[in-house]
Structure 1
Amino acid sequence: MLPINKNTFTLIISSLMIILGQSIATAQTAQPRWWFGLSGAANLNFYSGTTQRLNNSLIVPTAFHKGNGVRPYGSLLMEYRPAGMLGFMLNVGYDGRGGKFDSVMAPCDCPATLKTNLDYLTVEPSLRLGVPSTNLYFFAGPRVAFAMQKEFKYTQLKQPDTNEDFSEINSTIFSGQIGMGYDLPISSPNSKTKASLSPFVSYHPYFGQDARNIESWSVSTVRAGIALKFGRAGKVKEAEVPVAVIPAREVTFTVRAPKTVPAKRLVSETLPLRNSVFFNEGSAAIPTRYVLLTNNQASAFREASLQNEQTPSMNGRSARQLNVYHNILNILGDRMRANPGAVIALSGASANGPQEGKLFAEAIKQYMVSVFGINGSRISTVGRTKPLIPSEQPGGTKELVLLREGDRRVDISSASPELLMEVGGGMMKPVQILATQIDPLDSHVIFNVDGANAVLKSWTLDLTDERGTVKHYGPFTRDRESMTGTSILGNNKSGNYKVVMLGESKNGLPVRKETTVALVRQDESTEKGYRYSILFDFDKSNSIASYDKFLSDVVSPLITSGSTVIVHGHTDIIGEEDYNHKLSHSRATETQKIIQTALTRAGKSNVKFETLGFGEDSDRTPFENKLPEERFYNRTVIIDIIPGK
């Protein structure tokens, strides 16, 4: 019998972990999902507890407490290794748990020994966790063992040896194990039949491993062995081996620059008025960010006061347009006051239940009645758990806080055309805004690096003027970037620039492209532009069809021959960045198609389109993404119409 102690056990485990942990995996070209094979190992068994009644006919005079032993283990195995880290293992085989207890002294001052050949048929299913980029794996799972051999041999000096079977042996053992292993490939990388030798070690704690249903004898085991595994995989063809690409041949670089760079433009904007009021968590009061008037202020309020050019203190489109939207209740009150026959329905929604949703709606009704003097019979209210068009979808798990914040709202609906205009989605009748637009989109210089996202790690721009002054931009990763013409020109009236695009391919090769661009500043813009916006529900692009009539009958007639139409799509920050970029591009291109069809029917020609999808790009979104109404307004396509000169 091999003597086993704690030092020997520690040395064996430490050695195996060092051997496995220091191994570095060799990348394989193909691996099977299913593996079959067999394993062999040594069980290092450690006994603890007490046993004295060996069977119904033999109670030894001195109890045995501790012991150890080495016994064989062998199994048939199956493994399932799908793509990824998680897999499954199953071992079925022979499990030897025999050993020898530490010798004791009987009362007769006689040495006594106890050996056992305890063994089982074992079934061991396990979860397999592979370590990425290595052949190292860990496993853990239950063990179900069925007792087979339960023989013991008891010896005591001055009396015959006893060879019998233990009584009260547990016929079924439920326990567990945890371990680690390493797959060493022994087959050719191009062979269809894969084979590996896999050294492994596992630990089976004493939990659940009471050998008998009497006394307290339990067994802990450390198993160390090796498995031989086979799997079947498709042979790697030479054509499937990746071929190094030459990025310089796959990347094209172009620059689109305006003939003149307008610093500002007077724009008449038709702003869609979102027919929703969003409420804060934990309160049924109208949020203070909405403009709430006193009775005297309401008497003097007119919607037309919001249509004039905004004051210089309100910088940026977000502040300018949100100020109009945050007057939504005052606009509604002014319109209902001017149209006594108009009626509205308020639908409040809250995840806390329809009772709270109705409280939201009642708060708005009370404001209309008490501040604007609207007869309460003209306003109906209802409560819901979710709005009719919710942002949160069944089964969704990501970014639920933002989605639910957008569903905590009151939606305003009406059949009265004086209040709502059917431009797709039942928006309230738009508000006209006259404003000066700083650095309009047609003043931007667009840099296109076709293939950058697929081929390049990153790229930068160097713009050098006639005096040798260099401006550096980047690094970038997307296929398209833009800068305002005024930021490039600085204080100069005009400039001729050498443009150098420098990139690094994903396999480390340098990429260089060159072109030139000429810019001329136009300080005063004489033409008046027009801007229209259409809004989308969360994650929807196909609703563009509902805007067909609005785009064809309202927007397209304003586009004259020779005009430039810039169509740019945006999204909020909810969702994956790449997906949002594709979604915004889809919305923008579908918008362009509808307008082009209407222009063709009207016989208009020589109209230039520039259609862009910016996704959730925070530098270009028309609004921030802090408030739910900002995110709703960012789900948009904006149409800028620049008349031809």
Structure 2
Amino acid sequence: MSLSQSETADFATSTGLTAEDVANVEERPIIQKDIYYNLLNIMGYRLKNTPGSSMELYASDPDGKDPRPYAEDVKKYLVETWGVNPDQLPIATGDATPKSGTPRTPADDVPFTVEENRRVHLRKMTPDKLGHRVAIAVKREAEEDHQIYTEITTNENIASWQATITGNGQKRSFGPYTERSVYMDPTGLLSTSQPSGQFSMEVVARTADGRTLSDVENFTLVRTQSEGISTRFRLNFEYAEEDPVGRSKEYLVKEVAPSIKSGAKVYIYGHTDKLGKDNVNLDLSSSRANETKQMLQDALSARGITNVKIIAKGMGENEPPFSNDLPEGRMYNRTVIVDVIQ
């Protein structure tokens, strides 16, 4: 997002940045794409207001073209718009690091990785605080907390399953599903004046070898009187990054875990981009979500926090938070989302 030189004077106020604490943007409900498109402005503000600071502009082009003009364009914007000293912005060029794509990347996906490797990387920031995480703390209605969570716990190899909820003069079908756990929207099962109601859920599952299994469970659906508030945290990963959740452990332990109180509910969703095989992406997102869950459980236990319900689920490339059609969308889809509801 380009600003004029005159607009930079109001940038701190309009984005929640202050000279005292350039990380104050973390306190505002800013959507992640806004931060991405404002990244140069955020860094321009920090460079201008941090004496002795510097940041390397590292440019790459996978087609063998000279990438230096990419970095020079970025430098020109920061110098002319923000008044950053040119000496604060050394330029370097070379292969993309970290690089999107591997020798195992399917041929159909290679053009997407080429697109991602044509970029300018902001790196080697001095002092370290120049590159402090711009986190998102979004407070919103806890939609997940108003849904029916259903999990298939049998040891059978389930190919698909569906559920039928009956009661209160209603009969509604959900599915079929292939995932072991899902959220079901109960909207409409209770009338607007009903505080609660009795229902039964019949689950019919088909096994991989063609058998049919079924089970019925009765439950009480209670209308929630108070709205929960959800604070969302995100862990973003590089393409094919080794142990990305492990790299985020300090953030989980020192920033996410302290925000969780006894009695809270935590929903963890793993996502991937659309590159690679569907089943591999699903397994990868599930593994990352469950690793995040274990780290949070350990951190909460160490803090003496109990009675916290944590649910982890891998989404793979299904239901992506951002569009997979743009390089930045794919970048943000390599993520684990943590929703803390309390």
Relative to the length of structure 1, the TM-score reads: 0.47
1:267-306 aligned at under 5 Å gives the runs 291-302=1-12, 303-304=15-16
Amino acid at match of 2:202: V
Gaps of 5+ in 1: 1-290, 311-319, 422-428
1:512 aligns with 2:227: no
Between the aligned partners of 1:587 and 1:565, the Cα distance in structure 2 is 15
1:543 to 231, 238, 244: 244
Amino acid at match of 1:374: V
1:388 to 91, 97, 102: 97
Q: Post-superposition shift, 1:531? A: 2.4
Between the aligned partners of 2:203 and 2:288, the Cα distance in structure 1 is 30
Between the aligned partners of 1:638 and 1:351, the Cα distance in structure 2 is 31
1:464 aligns with 2:161: no
RMSD: 2.6
Q: Post-superposition shift, 1:505? A: 4.1
Q: Post-superposition shift, 1:304? A: 0.7
8 Å contact kept, 2:29–2:136: no
1:173-212 aligned at under 5 Å gives the runs none
1:588 aligns with 2:286: no
Secondary structure, in 3 states, of the residue corresponding to 2:162? Answer: strand
Amino acid at match of 1:517: F
Between the aligned partners of 1:452 and 1:408, the Cα distance in structure 2 is 47
8 Å contact kept, 1:531–1:638: yes
1:502 aligns with 2:204: yes
Which residue in the other structure is 1:569 paired with? 270
Q: Post-superposition shift, 1:359? A: 1.6
Q: Post-superposition shift, 1:488? A: 5.5
8 Å contact kept, 2:166–2:172: yes
Q: Post-superposition shift, 1:377? A: 0.9
8 Å contact kept, 1:354–1:383: no
1:410 aligns with 2:120: yes
Deviates more, 1:447-456 or 1:626-635: 447-456
1:300-319 aligned at under 5 Å gives the runs 300-302=10-12, 303-304=15-16, 308-309=28-29
Q: Deviation string for 1:95-128 (max 9, x for gaps)?
A: xxxxxxxxxxxxxxxxxxxxxxxxxxxxxxxxxx
Q: Deviation string for 1:208-258 (max 9, x for gaps)?
A: xxxxxxxxxxxxxxxxxxxxxxxxxxxxxxxxxxxxxxxxxxxxxxxxxxx
Which residue in the other structure is 1:326 paired with? 37
8 Å contact kept, 2:142–2:341: no
Which residue in the other structure is 1:365 paired with? 75
Q: Deviation string for 1:182-207 (max 9, x for gaps)?
A: xxxxxxxxxxxxxxxxxxxxxxxxxx
Between the aligned partners of 1:364 and 1:577, the Cα distance in structure 2 is 36
Q: Post-superposition shift, 1:524? A: 3.9
1:519-530 aligned at under 5 Å gives the runs 519-522=221-224, 524-525=226-227, 528-530=229-231
TM-aligned CA distance change 1:395 to 1:531, over 3 Å: closer
Secondary structure, in 3 states, of the residue corresponding to 1:482? Answer: strand
Between the aligned partners of 1:393 and 1:486, the Cα distance in structure 2 is 45
Between the aligned partners of 2:191 and 2:273, the Cα distance in structure 1 is 32
8 Å contact kept, 2:147–2:184: yes
Q: Post-superposition shift, 1:381? A: 1.4
Query: How much identity, in percent, do the aligned residues show?
Result: 28
Which residue in the other structure is 2:152 paired with? 449
Count of equivalent residues: 329
TM-aligned CA distance change 1:375 to 1:614, over 3 Å: same
1:487-498 aligned at under 5 Å gives the runs 489=190, 491=192, 493=194, 494-498=196-200
Between the aligned partners of 2:188 and 2:112, the Cα distance in structure 1 is 35
TM-aligned CA distance change 1:490 to 1:345, over 3 Å: farther
TM-aligned CA distance change 1:510 to 1:601, over 3 Å: closer
8 Å contact kept, 1:486–1:521: no
Amino acid at match of 1:391: S
Secondary structure, in 3 states, of the residue corresponding to 2:128? Answer: coil
Q: Post-superposition shift, 1:364? A: 1.0
Gaps of 5+ in 2: 18-24
Amino acid at match of 1:394: P
Q: Post-superposition shift, 1:389? A: 0.9
1:255-270 aligned at under 5 Å gives the runs none
TM-aligned CA distance change 1:496 to 1:405, over 3 Å: farther
Which residue in the other structure is 1:347 paired with? 58
1:606 to 304, 307, 314: 307
Q: Post-superposition shift, 1:504? A: 3.8
Q: Deviation string for 1:38-70 (max 9, x for gaps)?
A: xxxxxxxxxxxxxxxxxxxxxxxxxxxxxxxxx
TM-aligned CA distance change 1:348 to 1:437, over 3 Å: farther
Higher relative contact order (CA 8 A, sep 6+): 2
Between the aligned partners of 1:515 and 1:630, the Cα distance in structure 2 is 41
8 Å contact kept, 1:531–1:641: yes
More strand by share: 1
Q: Deviation string for 1:577-604 (max 9, x for gaps)?
A: 2211211121122222222222333333
8 Å contact kept, 1:309–1:434: yes
Between the aligned partners of 2:226 and 2:48, the Cα distance in structure 1 is 41
Secondary structure, in 3 states, of the residue corresponding to 2:340? Answer: strand
Larger Rg: 1
Which 4+ stretches in 1 moved above 6 angstroms? none
More helix by share: 2
Between the aligned partners of 1:407 and 1:341, the Cα distance in structure 2 is 30
Relative to the length of structure 2, the TM-score reads: 0.85
Which residue in the other structure is 1:636 paired with? 335
Q: Deviation string for 1:135-157 (max 9, x for gaps)?
A: xxxxxxxxxxxxxxxxxxxxxxx
Between the aligned partners of 1:534 and 1:490, the Cα distance in structure 2 is 39
Between the aligned partners of 1:579 and 1:605, the Cα distance in structure 2 is 34
Between the aligned partners of 1:591 and 1:642, the Cα distance in structure 2 is 16
Between the aligned partners of 1:438 and 1:604, the Cα distance in structure 2 is 21
Deviates more, 1:500-509 or 1:374-383: 500-509
